[in-house]
Structure 1
Amino acid sequence: MIKRYRSWDRREPHREWTALTLLAEHAPGLAPEPITADLDAAPPTVVMSRLPGVPLRGLRTGPAHVHAMAAALTRLHRAVPAASLPEPAAWTPAGAVAYARGWAAKRPDLGEDPRAAKAFAAGAAWLAGPDADRLAVNPFPPVLGQIDGNHANFLWDDDTAQVRILDWEDSGSSDRAFELAEVAEHISRMDGHLDGDGFLACLDLTVMEAARVRDFRRLLAFNWFVMLSPDGPFATRNPLGTFERQAERVLALLGAGR
């Protein structure tokens, strides 16, 4: 398969080639195998193998899918030694906190639904507290992160009951809790039935890690909420009612649903 990049200002081709090369060495079969690359062409290209399977996005998933996804991400996060990790990923916890706080300060148009106003107020109040500050500094060892939790990037292979991972163009050294929350809270969860809570329950998380994942879920849910708002960049990309459903998600995660 030949991948030609539409943009490369975040070093997308270099990031993808580096991640595929590392995974071919440390976790073969988890991602496409790198074949060749022309990283300085216009557009840059990476040639990689094709993977079997169907995307989890939109799939009616069950326990086997959830366990396989947890196993794939556990393997990913344990595979690459710390000394071999590449540059930081394109999307970071500090960047996500700053993004959310920028929207909280902006006070975007939320429409007329009172649930949206309540979700925004709850999220802004949480962002002003100490929990969000703590997310910017990782107390745990970094991992190789794919950083895009879109469920379309996870392929279910029915023959082997395994999940493999696509799309490494934003990848890099990352925070494991941030990565797991990305999968649990990506807006693609609405296009399917993957149980985020069930997925996280399959992982061997310490109490501290679980608390960190919980707070990243709150942060990322709020970010999706404001991005889906009438002023947000994704306002027209999703079916009617997505914004209202995301408001409910923020309220539930912050314990402000009543």
Structure 2
Amino acid sequence: MADLVYTHVLDFDGDVVTKRYVDGKPGAAEREWRALTLLAEHASGLSPRPIAFEDGVVRMTRIAGVPLRGLAVEEVPLTAMAEALTELYEAVPPGVLAAVPVRPWQAEALAGQVREWLDAWRPRGPRADRAVKEGLRWLAGRRPGESGVRPVFGAGDGNLANFLWDGARVRIVDFEDSGRSDLVYELAELSEHVSMWVDGEVEIADRFELSGPQARRLRDCRRLQSLVWLFLLSHDSPRNPPGTFDRQVERVLRSLEA
């Protein structure tokens, strides 16, 4: 059986998954393989076990579990998700992490892309246009600095579907955008991903104890990520319920007013 999933094809053969990258996304297969091998060494059992890698094809073990997206994410699996994230963020020793390439789309590169998107915005109604105007004003005055940065290994994808619950623990899949990151940026990406609120609010960042500078950085990074989703959801998609874009507009305005 094969399913086309955005950037790759997945083939399932018993307990083995073969992931074939099909869109030429630079470095994606290499990042996936690096993540699987690092986690196999430093956090065994948290993710699929690597089997083989060649010419953009990654073979790995298949792990049991139901994606958290679409579930009624209650206290037990949410606690297990926070535990899995903590394990991920603490898994790679600092000396090893320092040699891991930075993951794609870190904050400053993303901020530049968001400015381009919003500068090219076409009117979508008073509330949406106000969110864009306020977003551009915020970006123009944004001075985040490096306060509150704690290097971690990040999965690079906030989709709740990448967290598999087997009734006892949560494990993580999909590492094509993984790499060296920082704790707060990863939490912000997770918190603002559409999958974390479209079917019912899931708040994960408050499961982590953050310093004052980290809390301020989280607010900054969440605002940035909310503007990403304002643009992405402006292109109506049948994958999301009707009204999702309007809900995102209100999330952006609340974030910028906070």
TM-score bracket, shorter-length normalisation: 0.7 to 0.9
Counterpart for residue 185 of structure 2: 178
Give structure 2 stretches of 5+ with no counterpart.
1-16
In 1, the alpha carbon distance for the partners of 2:241 and 2:113 equals 24
In 1, the alpha carbon distance for the partners of 2:254 and 2:77 equals 25
- 46, 68, 78: which one aligns with 1:66: 78
Give the secondary-structure state (helix, strand or coil) at the position aligned to 1:47: strand
Cα deviation for residue 87 of structure 1 reads 0.8
Counterpart for residue 129 of structure 2: 117
Cα deviation for residue 16 of structure 1 reads 0.5
Q: Contact 1:66/1:194 (CA < 8 Å) preserved in 2? A: no
Counterpart for residue 223 of structure 2: 218
Give the secondary-structure state (helix, strand or coil) at the position aligned to 2:144: helix
Cα deviation for residue 138 of structure 1 reads 6.4
Q: For 2:81, give the aligned amino acid.
A: M
Listed as ranges, the matches of 1:170-209 within 5 Å are 170-196=177-203, 199-209=204-214
1:94 aligns with 2:108: yes
Cα deviation for residue 103 of structure 1 reads 2.1
Calculate percent identity across the aligned residue pairs.
45
Distance change in 2, residues 1:56/1:194 (3 Å) = farther
How many corresponding residue pairs? 239
Listed as ranges, the matches of 1:1-258 within 5 Å are 1-38=17-54, 40=55, 44-85=56-97, 86-106=100-120, 108-112=121-125, 114-130=126-142, 133-134=143-144, 137=146, 140-158=149-167, 160=168, 162-196=169-203, 199-229=204-234, 234-237=235-238, 238-255=240-257
In 1, the alpha carbon distance for the partners of 2:84 and 2:201 equals 15
Compare the two structures and name the one with the higher strand fraction.
2
In 2, the alpha carbon distance for the partners of 1:157 and 1:8 equals 33
Cα deviation for residue 187 of structure 1 reads 1.3
In 2, the alpha carbon distance for the partners of 1:226 and 1:164 equals 30
Point out which structure has higher relative CO (alpha carbons under 8 A, 6+ apart): 1
Q: Contact 1:154/1:164 (CA < 8 Å) preserved in 2? A: yes
Q: Contact 2:49/2:60 (CA < 8 Å) preserved in 1? A: yes
Moved over 6 A (4+): none
In 2, the alpha carbon distance for the partners of 1:246 and 1:214 equals 16
In 1, the alpha carbon distance for the partners of 2:49 and 2:112 equals 35
In 1, the alpha carbon distance for the partners of 2:36 and 2:24 equals 17
Q: For 1:111, give the aligned amino acid.
A: R
